[in-house]
Amino acid sequence: MANDTITQHVSERYARAAATSEQMCCPTSYNLADLRTFIPEEVLKISYGCGTPAGLETVRSGETVLDIGSGGGIDCFEASRRVGPTGHVIGLDMTDTMLDIARRYAPVVAKNLGHETSNVEFRKGLAEAMPVEANSIDLIISNCVINLAPDKQKVFREMYRVLKPGGRFTISDIVSDQPVPNYLIHDQEKWGDCLSGALQAGDYLGGLVQAGFLGIHQVKFTPWQVIDGIHFLSLTLTGYKLPETGEPNGVRFATLRGPFSRAVDELGQVYLRGVPQPVTARTAHLLKSPPFDGLFLLSDAPVTLTESDPRLVAIKPEQAPCVWQGHFALFTGPFLEVCDDDSHRYFRGTPLEVCSKTVKVLGTDAYRPHFAVINRAAGPVTGVEVACSPSGSCC
């Protein structure tokens, strides 16, 4: 299908849903009791998404927020409350019916929040060509919308363009564990269901890096549907538009604490656990961003961590037989690739089959935030125990 055809079909689908209060497909969770205190019911009942944008939790008073695919305005109105009367919120949507509803209720929400005037505006436009000034946005949010855009790489480039240096995004979207086949890509109905346009997780993450973003990492994930053996996941990601050059900040060395035994960051720097590595000012800026908190020891002089040092984190697999149960591990950042202590090498966004021992390791507090674990087995697995060793002979 041509891109224009896809865009028109999606717009018509969501206009129809807004008019009929049709329940759309994507999983989401809002505290509706709280939102009802200032957002009208007509807005709440046409709010579609695959995850409450966690980025709103990071909003500071006075910031400028852009919501891509703002629909009836629910996330814009919540952002309005958080940025306060000195902040500004821009909602971007391509569907007139949605924009009409959002604009109608913006003054009502402002009054309910005690604002003299609304700090929210709604603009009509496409995510691939945003009517937004370059370097003007502190935070971009988007809730299950980018997968509906035919050219996602254009969307990612536009996101990078409009963000200020030092700005960030938090977006929830549907991704797949495998490439979506042509018979789904060319199914009009499944475009509106957030299926046909879903990118494979690795392509989605890679596209954000290609656009220039760094520090890309998972905030949360939720399994959604399995269609013909393809797993579709709701994935919430955050990433940053860091300045092109870093300012001297007193950091000259970085020592990987763990839990990974080896890691490669998005700038190509390789780290071995416990071994100090000289870093540039820009790399130090990257490693000071939130997703790396606790993973590194940053210092002016080299610091080596030995196995007995309590600051070093290593989680070894059990020395026992394991079972293959259909699990696949999807590494979701903030590195390009990492290794564990059982000789597994994980590439971001690429599923890797793992045994029961590794699933247990990845379920620990140190590993859990960085992985989405799915199970591709169609039914119960009666696998026999196999000999697994830390050398990776089994896995």
When the pLDDT of each residue in the chain is averaged and rounded to a whole number, the result is 88
- Domain parsing of the chain, residue ranges: 3-240, 246-314, 320-395
Q: How confident is the model over 63-121, as pLDDT tens digits?
A: 999 999 999 999 999 999 999 999 999 999 999 999 999 999 999 999 999 999 999 99
Q: What is the pLDDT of residue 206?
A: 96
Residue 250 scores a pLDDT above 60: yes
Q: How confident is the model over 294-325, as pLDDT tens digits?
A: 999 999 999 999 999 999 999 999 888 889 99
Residue 22 scores a pLDDT above 90: no
**What average pLDDT does the segment 251-263 reach?**
97
Give me 214's structure tokens.
């760094």
pLDDT band at 190 (very low <50, low <70, confident <90, very high): low
CA angle 361, 362, 365 (to 5 degrees): 90
Q: Which residues contact 9 (CB under 8 A, 6 or more apart)?
A: 1, 188, 191, 192
- Do residues 299 and 251 make contact, with C-beta atoms less than 8 angstroms apart? yes
pLDDT band at 205 (very low <50, low <70, confident <90, very high): very high
Q: How confident is the model over 111-170, as pLDDT tens digits?
A: 999 999 999 999 999 999 999 999 999 999 998 889 888 899 999 999 999 999 999 999
Residue 52 scores a pLDDT above 80: no
Give the Å distances, CA to CA, from 276 to 13, 52, 337: 54, 38, 18
Q: What is the pLDDT of residue 176?
A: 94
Residue 247 scores a pLDDT above 90: no
CATH 3.90.1150.10 corresponds to the domain 320-395: no
pLDDT band at 11 (very low <50, low <70, confident <90, very high): very low
Which CATH fold topology does 246-314 show?
Answer: Ribosomal Protein L9; domain 1 (3.40.5)
Residue 21 scores a pLDDT above 70: no
Q: What is the pLDDT of residue 388?
A: 61
Lowest pLDDT segment from 179-183, 371-375, 379-383, 390-394? 390-394
Residue 231 scores a pLDDT above 80: yes
On the question of a common fold for 3-240 and 320-395, the answer reads: no
Which CATH fold topology does 3-240 show?
Answer: Rossmann fold (3.40.50)
From CA 48, how far away is CA 340, in angstroms rounded?
Answer: 38
Residue 389 scores a pLDDT above 60: no
Q: What is the pLDDT of residue 194?
A: 64
